[in-house]
Chains A and B, each alone.
Chain A
Amino acid sequence: MAVDGDTDRTLSVDSRGRLWGLHATLFEAGLFGATLFGIVSLCILFGYIAFDAFQPLTASIRWYLLIAGTLILPTAAGTLYARRQPAVRAANAKAFGVVGGALVAALCTYIVVDALSPYDVALVLLFGGYLPAVFTLLVRRTNRTTQLGPTAILSVGGGLAIAHGGYDLLRPIVGTAAQWIAYFAIVTLPVAFGLWIVGRRRWTRQTARRAVLAVIVSVLLLVVLALGLGIDPSFWVVLLSVGAIPVAVVIGEIVVLDPAGRLGAAGPFVLIGCLSVFLAVERQLGLEGPDGYLTTTLLLESWHGLDASSAGVYPQIVGSIVIVGVMGVLAFPVGIGAALYLEEYAQRSGWRGRVATLLEVNISNLAGVPSVVYGLLGLALFRNALGFPTGIVLSAAGTLGLLILPIVVVSAQEALRSVPDSLREAAVGMGASRWQTLRTVVLPEALPGMLTGTILALARAIGETAPLVIIAVATTKYSPPDGILSSATVLPLQIFAARSNVDPAFRHGIVPAAAVVLLVLLLLMNTTAIVVRNRFDRRSQQ
């Protein structure tokens, strides 16, 4: 307790207090430094990789000046301008999102379908999708009492069974059509259908009908043009359907409906324009860019163990995409189902409650099991028990699918929990059964969150290597997989296999470049997940 005379002394900041102040500042600085430590270290390591992959020192200064002038300055100017106008910024983000996403989607679709053979995909789609859909609709028209769900599922199953059983007969028939027709059936028809569904809700029925017609006509015109020029229309059909049409729809909507943000929609096209200017000037002045290893050869060719300049990772890229896709198809329904059970069906009291708790504890334990152990599970299940051949897409996708299952379940649970209970009460009060409540109210609300969680889980799986090594997936293959039962390899395995190659063109060239490709794939998936989540946040605020 301070006496009056002491007050002056204890309240003022003396030298010891100042030292203490310094101590505190150092402490905070230390904490801040620790926070940055990992990030900075990773940046440095990434810097090494980028340096080796892109070889930036091999380009001249004039080349960099050209980049600064034609690409960086306009982008910076545009960003500064957009910062002041939120409508422009939003429209710009939307435009870039749709252009980037559509291009990536188009490329991935083409790559995967090309690897799996477009005729096979068309066959599966025809018998497993279109015919069952038509059948279900017909049944619904004639007999109003049938339940759509079981009818649809049974007809899909039946269709696929027919396709599988009659494959030898049906495949040659399908194969007589020109390849672009197969692509048309695979991409253009679903896109047109999707456009009709979306358009019916957002615009008038008439506009939607006209839009669908425009899609089909434009694609057919493109085919005619391509055939006239003597080039195979397949790739362009995909690019137009999956790439250009969504872009046209979204940009069109912005231009028509959002006068304030119109300028923002021009963003990606301005960028493309700048890029063209850059390339033209580059060629004109004869400037050469860096002699990096991230070339088209890397992206389109297959591996070469000795000659770095002809080594590529195309089969690995396709393999990664296909395995991740199959993994998603396997893990998503099971994960969602388990989450639905835990959140919506399971009781919390009594013995059933204990079972539910056991399930949840089990899932959280599974999430912490090392990935190698999942490899052993995959080995025992797919190679020993089921007798699948070594390293096929199905085994790899199944093993990794089991690995990500706990993550999918937990994130789906969180998405379901975020749906307010008041909505469920409203639906139940209206006389909706539990399944109806889920289907009409809960799942539509929770779906974006579930998708985000699944995509993030898939993004993690695309870099997983250990389980695949255990189930003996081949480290190098020279052709992409052509079916679920064909053997495949993935990008991280190739990096692992090439680690002991001491040729500098590989060690400080091709392999870092392959690592960059893997990181780019990862970045694309994470961006997709974030975009899905943000659109969900915006939608629920409307």
Chain B
Amino acid sequence: MSSEPNADRESLQRNDTVVRTERLYGWAIAASALLTILVTVGIVLALLGEALTFWSAVSPLSFFTGTKWSPIIDGEYGLLPLVSGTLIVTVGSALIALPTGLAAALYLSEYASERTRSVLKPALEILAGVPTVIYGYMALVYITPLFQGILPVSIRLIPPGLEPLPAFTLVIPSLQTFNVLSASIVVGIMIIPMVSSISEDALRSVPDELRAAAYGLGSTKYDVSTKVVVPAATSGIVASFVLALSRAIGETMAVTMAMGMSPQLPYFPNVFRNLAESSQTMTGAMVQIASADSLGGVTYEAMFALGLTLFLITLSMNVAAELVRRRFREVYQ
């Protein structure tokens, strides 16, 4: 540390050089903070630049409403199959993660002892820490063969001979090598901690007075948990759901590896076919274009258009979740 011989005790001032140097440090620190804004600006510019070029070559209408995505072979840039793929994976993973995550959050918050909680909570966090490539690999190489052994399955729900009810057999088709089911399963497992951690925070923030009041009225733990605590924490729980879904929409490697690259429109009425066959998400399409590696051209620009769409979707979901969360924080503070 340098000494300050010029500092005059009587003048109530410090050495000029020192003051100026410290101001410099302040500016350097402010510059770092500014850099974080530049990142966002960078993202927006990068995406907009190429996306707008793309949309001058391919009309946005045909992009957003087109039903065929085959950029490299046919030059078709219809978004709907990709949206369908993303949606099906997201819904599938939501079916797994949302109930499980909420149940886990409820257990950890209301039922678990401190010791159990101190073990289970970090264990759940591990689920989010596993690299997504490994999830994708496990889906492709272990989960798919496992299910392929079980399916196809046909269940006779309504046997023939029960007039006037039509005979109805539920047929779950066999699984292809690349299928949406395995992708949904691993993405579901991956996002459980997001739901459980944020929901648990929300459940724990519910003031104990509410619980005490309910117990005082003679409720069981089940009543208190399901009829008092969960409803009180609804906004936090909803926020966790939205954030988890946003994460699932943005997931790339696991879905690419498990689902393959065949964009499809959804199948109707055989809903299960959607899970059993290959598809492609928006993120998967981006990876596919990048792997083809042609710097420039409409296909390359399409990647940025997809990125912009994805960015806007996840941004609005995250902002919505944050607003919901802020509302719940205000209620109790």
Contact = CB atoms under 8 A, between A and B. Distances in A.
Interface of A: 20, 23-24, 27-28, 30-32, 34-39, 41-42, 45, 48-49, 140, 144-150, 333-338, 340-342, 345-346, 358-359, 362-366, 368-377, 379-381, 383, 402, 405-406, 409, 433-436, 459-460, 462-466, 469-472, 492, 495-496, 499, 507-508, 511-512, 515, 518-519, 522, 526
A337 B252 contact: no
Contacts of A371: 250, 252
A380 B50 contact: yes
23 contacts: A20-B220, A23-B222, A34-B99, A35-B108, A35-B196, A38-B189, A42-B189, A45-B138, A145-B2, A145-B3, A147-B17, A335-B32, A336-B32, A341-B32, A365-B40, A368-B314, A372-B287, A380-B42, A405-B36, A433-B22, A434-B26, A435-B22, A463-B133
Contact of A42 (B49, B127, B140, B307): B127
Interface in B281-307: 283, 286-287, 290-291, 293, 295, 303-304, 307
B36 A406 contact: yes
Contacts, number: 260
Given A376-B47, A496-B257, 9 more contacts: A31-B103, A338-B32, A340-B32, A346-B33, A366-B39, A377-B39, A463-B133, A463-B134, A495-B134
A365 B290 CA distance: 25
B307 A372 contact: yes
A311 to B, nearest CB: 16
Contacts of A406: 36
Contact of A470 (B49, B220, B287): B287
B5 A144 contact: yes
Interface string B124-137: 10110111111011
Contacts of A363: 36
Interface of B: 1-6, 14-15, 17-18, 21-22, 24-26, 28-33, 35-37, 39-40, 42-43, 45-47, 49-50, 99-100, 103-104, 106-108, 111-112, 120, 123-124, 126-127, 129-134, 136-138, 140-143, 189, 192-193, 196, 220-222, 243, 246-247, 249-253, 257, 283, 286-287, 290-291, 293, 295, 303-304, 307, 310-311, 314-315, 318-319, 322
Contact of A34 (B15, B100, B243, B311): B100
Contacts of B192: 37-38
B100 A24 contact: no
A150 B252 contact: no
Contact of B249 (A27, A38, A370): A370
A92 to B, nearest CB: 21
A138 B300 CA distance: 56
Contact of B222 (A24, A147, A359, A472): A24
Contacts of B250: 369-373
A436 to B, nearest CB: 8
Nearest to A28: B111
Nearest to B311: A373
Nearest to A471: B290
A364 B243 CA distance: 12
Given A42-B127, A465-B132, A495 B137 contact: yes
B129 A145 contact: no
Contact of A379 (B4, B28, B46, B104): B46
A38 B100 CA distance: 8
B134 A381 contact: no
Contacts of A518: 131, 134
Contacts of B307: 372-373, 376
Given A31-B103, A34-B107, A144-B2, A24 B220 contact: yes
Given A372-B250, A377-B43, A495-B134, A148 B1 contact: yes
A144 B18 CA distance: 13
A124 to B, nearest CB: 23
Nearest to B253: A465
Contacts of A373: 43, 47, 250, 307, 310-311
A283 B20 CA distance: 70
Nearest to B32: A337
A377 B46 contact: yes
Nearest to B47: A376
B107 A499 contact: no
A362 B33 CA distance: 11
Contacts of A48: 138, 141-142
A322 to B, nearest CB: 18
A20 B319 CA distance: 42
Contact of B22 (A335, A377, A434, A496): A434
Nearest to B283: A372
A337 B24 CA distance: 13
Contacts of B253: 465-466, 469, 492, 496
A465 B29 contact: no
A492 B131 contact: yes
Contacts of B25: 149, 435
Contacts of B133: 463, 465, 492, 495-496, 515
A333 B29 CA distance: 9
Nearest to A381: B42
Nearest to A376: B307
A341 B30 contact: yes
Contacts of A492: 131, 133-134, 253
A538 to B, nearest CB: 18
Contacts of B47: 373, 376
Contact of B131 (A337, A499, A522): A522
Contacts of B18: 147, 433
A464 B131 contact: yes
Given A144-B5, A379-B46, A364 B322 contact: yes
B283 A499 contact: no
A64 B138 CA distance: 27
Nearest to B17: A147
A42 B18 CA distance: 57
B38 to A, nearest CB: 10
A376 B304 contact: yes
Nearest to A333: B32
Contacts of B36: 338, 359, 362-363, 366, 405-406, 409
Contacts of A519: 130, 134
Q: Residue among A39, A335, A508 with the most chain B CB within 10 A? A: A39
A365 B283 contact: no
B2 A359 contact: no
A38 B143 CA distance: 14
Contacts of A335: 32
Given A466-B252, A499-B140, A515-B137, A365 B103 contact: no
A334 B21 contact: no
A358 B36 CA distance: 11
A140 B138 CA distance: 59
Contacts of B33: 337-338, 341-342, 346, 359
A145 B5 contact: yes
Contacts of B1: 148
Contacts of B137: 495, 499, 511-512, 515
A320 to B, nearest CB: 11
